[in-house]
Amino acid sequence: MRICLLGCGSIGLRLSRCLSELGYNDLILYDPAPAARQGVAEQLGRPCCATLEEVWAQEPEVALITSP
């Protein structure tokens, strides 16, 4: 299942780790803030989309909003 996390702050990072531990590795991460995207790359070693167009092009099946 392709899951999108919209927001990669502390909650998004934690949920990403939890989903990975449960075996969900087809994650699409998105955050408009450059600092958050850099944090994802450093902490999780995963790419993070900068635009919603990039996200929708990957055709997620589920989207979770993990930002205020």
Q: Which two tokens stand for residue 58?
A: 């990957």
Query: What SS3 state is found at 15?
Result: helix
Q: How does pLDDT run across 42-61, given as a tens digit for each residue?
A: 898 889 999 999 999 999 99
Model pTM? 0.89
User: Is pLDDT larger for residue 5 or for residue 39?
Assistant: 5
**Which band of pLDDT confidence, cut at 50, 70 and 90, is reported for residue 18?**
very high
Between CA 2 and CA 63 the distance in angstroms is 9
Mean pLDDT of 11-36: 94
